Amino acid sequence: MNYKEAAKNFIENEKQFHLGVIPTEQPSPLTKNLSQTIAKDTAAGCKMILSVDANITKVAAAAFETEEFKSLVLDIKKAIDNRKTILFSSVGASGRMAIQLDQTWRYFWTSLVNRIPGKKEAFIEISNLSNSIITGGDRALVRSVENFEDYMTFGRQQVIEAGVGPGDLVIGLAECGLSASINGSVLEADDRGCTTYYIYCNPKDILCKHLDRVRVVFERKNLKFISLFVGNMAIAGSTRMQVTTVELLAVGAAIELACWEWLKENLTAEELEAVGRGVLEPQEYAREFQRLVDDLSSGEALAGLAQAVDYETSTYNQNGLITYLAHDYQLDIMTDTTERQPTFTLPPFKKFKDTESQVSWAYIKNPLYPNSVAWQHIFRRPIKGLDWSKELYIRLKAAQSIIDNPPAVATSEVEEYVIGNEDDPSRYSRKPANLVVIDINGSATPEVLAWQNKYKDKFTESVALRMGEIGSEKLLDKEIRIPVKLSRTIMELMTHLMVKLCFNILSTATMAKMGRVWSNWMIQVLPTNKKLIDRSTRIISTLAGIPYEEANEEFFKTYFSRDPKEIYRESYVVETLRRLGFDPEKEIK
């Protein structure tokens, strides 16, 4: 195809991907002029982003009162009682959330073994009930897999490989259901007799009116639906923000409540006391989330967030690198660093032995364990890539481009990304190379600091980024503090939410301050699938003031003229806007 043919095909034959009517694809009015605001006042920009997160409170509070949420809690408890699989399934940012929910489950149940060894066998058995799939396989945790979400057959196949059946519980996490793979996974689960939930974050009437692939899901009588509509995103279409946060809050609360019910029924009073923490009432989860947002929006916490944003902005503006250091909460931070690539057209994580690709701006390492063990701590289950043959891709009706050149998503691929304590010269291959030690509720143990001390001379400087409950002692000479008082529950849900909010803001606000956001539009988006091609088109149409069809042709004109080796120079959107006479750095009126 040439660019005109590609545009004609997209306009005429890909109408399912024209998403201007979907609320989560639109920017929130609360963040209008974000880029201009944050350029002048970092703290004010951070607070502006957090104002959109406040919408999550009332959405979660309403969901907690529904019969569907109460049913979810009961079905999770039933799965534990009957030793049935609990499978979390999704794609993209929500897919990484599925992996995090799975890991959190496994971590909690195995952590009880040392406290209550008499129940060891039951705890290990329950730990292994949890499972997760992300479209594209586990390698998608560290790098997006292009176009896989466009295939319902791919989602079905991953559920088949998960081996679920009658009595098992499948929880599908969907933003709007445009990604065909998530719909395929819940339809396959329903076909296989599973108790299946579809959790969605846009109005049902809009989805059913405009998206055929979602309509077929809502037509299923056996599926159970939970609406978590949070409105427009802080940055247009950046569903890694409010969508995945409300998913974590709602599903995380259901998991904690269900597990607590099992513990109360199966442990003695003394054993229950040894668990150490309890849970909240459903509405308390909503109130505590709002308190978290309020704390981050003012005082020392807001000042610390702004300081962290300014620190990263300064590093990247000098063409520098950030390497985060964490054992606890490494997965939480990894999901954010991965999401930066398609959102802001940044170089993705690269394999350890790859000396040709660009180095990612931010990276995350585990200072306690070598790579293979560090990955075991990330998943707490066997790594699951997609070891699919050419014949299977043909049977799944993949595009010829995928059949001819299947992406590298096999199980063996994941460990080629070194996240352990090995020395990685690429992380200090250019200066400034800054090492950021993550301390969350005291997680930066002496062992973590020992690695930092061993390797600090290879880096330009080290700084401790401390969140949550912070002790009075100093860990390093240079510290950034974000103090927050947290409710501590059995799976530390509020702590995970704090980390998520802070890193959402850290990465988004930094990119906005660097000009990679215009107002509240993500102008540096990397179009790795048809949904993102549509998003790129709508941004061009809106900012250049031209019809959608014309904007799509102009997008493909840029796309087809670019040398693939220059993919991270700047986004196709920005290059197109410049060619059309729109200045992405101009003053916002």
Domains of the chain, earliest start first: 35-50+295-513 (3.40.50), 55-281 (3.40.50.10490), 523-579 (no CATH)
Q: What are phi and psi of 363, to 5 degrees?
A: -150, 165
* Residue of 164, 163, 161 lying closest to 153 (CA atoms): 161
467 backbone dihedrals φ, ψ, rounded to 5°: -130, 155
pLDDT-flagged residues of the chain (< 50) = none
What does the pLDDT read at residue 45?
97
**pLDDT value, residue 363:** 97
Q: Is the dihedral of CA 23, 29, 30, 31 positive or negative?
A: positive
Tokens read off for 90: 């999704």
CA atoms within 13 A on the CB side of 305: 33
Q: At what angle do helices 493-513 and 242-266 cross, to 10 degrees?
A: 170
Query: From CA 485, how far away is CA 463, in angstroms rounded?
Result: 22
User: What is the structure's pLDDT at 301?
Assistant: 98
Sign of the torsion angle spanned by Cα atoms 447, 448, 449, 453: positive
Other CB atoms within 10 Å distance of the CB of residue 563: 7
What pLDDT is recorded for position 145? 86
Task: Please state, in angstroms and rounded to a whole number, the distance separating the CA atoms of residues 210 and 230.
Answer: 19
- What does the alpha-carbon distance between residue 183 and residue 193 come to, in Å, rounded to a whole number? 16
Rounded CA separation 141/503 (Å): 16
Retrieve residue 69's tokens: 């949420």
Q: Are 385 and 410 in contact (CB under 8 A)?
A: yes
Exposure string for 292-322, b = 16+ CB within 10 A, e = fewer: bbebbbeeebbbbbbbbbbbbbebbeeebbb
Identify the sign of the CA torsion 369, 371, 376, 377.
positive
**Structure tokens given for 563:** 């040398």
- Integer Cα distance of 237 and 59 in angstroms: 19
Please tell me the predicted confidence (pLDDT) of residue 266: 98
Residue 137 region by backbone torsions, left for phi larger than 0, else alpha for psi between -120 and 50, else beta:
left
In SS3 terms, 295-336 reads as HHCCHHHHHHHHHHHHHHHHHHHCCCEEEEECCCCHHHHHHH
Residue showing tokens 């990247």:
316
Q: Rounding to the nearest 10 degrees, give the CA dihedral for residues 96, 102, 104, 110.
A: -150
State yes or no: cis peptide before 23, omega within 30 of 0: no
- In this prediction the pTM is 0.94
- A 10 A CB-CB count for 177 gives 25
Length of the chain as a residue count? 589
Half-sphere exposure of 302 (CA within 13 A, CB side): 17
In the three-class reduction of DSSP (H, G, I as helix; E, B as strand; rest coil), residue 78 is classed as helix
